[in-house]
Homo-oligomer: A and B are copies of this chain.
Amino acid sequence: MIGDPRGPFAATCPTRHLLDQVADKWSMLALIAIAVAPRRFNALKREIEGISQKVLTQTLRRLERNGLISRTVEPTVPVSVTYAITPLGRSLATMMEEVRIWSVANIGDVLAAQSGYDQRASVATTS
């Protein structure tokens, strides 16, 4: 709506950049996790299996920059850093959570569709 009436479909629209930053799996998982309860860095790293520390840092920075999460440093020794959801972030996290629930609920249908597709593909190749 800003800059181009076609919204995210236009390459020049700011909403496109926003989607770029928000529509990836690591951002989704991180946002969902933080929305449940505030977390510390290593807690997130342990929870989001397979994410590297570098990518987690990048992801958290981006979410923070976009105002979706907050980063609080407590001056203990050693320092402890807590990430929490913001109101803006929560509104998005709610939708992300719906997608997560959907994927768990519909994984059966998807796997069935996949094997059907692969079946047809292998038949087409073998024939």
A: which residues have CB within 8 A of B?
1-2, 6-12, 14-16, 18-20, 22-25, 28-29, 33, 47-50, 64-67, 88, 91-92, 95-96, 98-100, 102-104, 106-114, 116-118
Nearest Cβ in chain B — how far from A52, in angstroms?
A: 12
For the complex, what is the distance from the CA of A13 to the CA of B116, rounded to whole Å?
A: 20
Of B6, B9, B111, which one neighbours A14 at CB under 8 angstroms? Answer: B111
Contact present for B14 and A107 (CB under 8 Å): yes
Chain A binding surface SS class: helix
A114: B residues at CB distance < 8 A: 65-67
A92: B residues at CB distance < 8 A: 99, 102, 106
Nearest Cβ in chain B — how far from A2, in angstroms?
A: 6
Contact present for B67 and A113 (CB under 8 Å): yes
Contact present for B49 and A10 (CB under 8 Å): yes
For the complex, what is the distance from the CA of A88 to the CA of B111, rounded to whole Å?
A: 12
A98: B residues at CB distance < 8 A: 95, 98
Of B12, B88, B108, B113, which one neighbours A113 at CB under 8 angstroms? Answer: B88
Contact present for B9 and A29 (CB under 8 Å): yes
Contact present for A107 and B10 (CB under 8 Å): no
Contact present for A25 and B23 (CB under 8 Å): yes
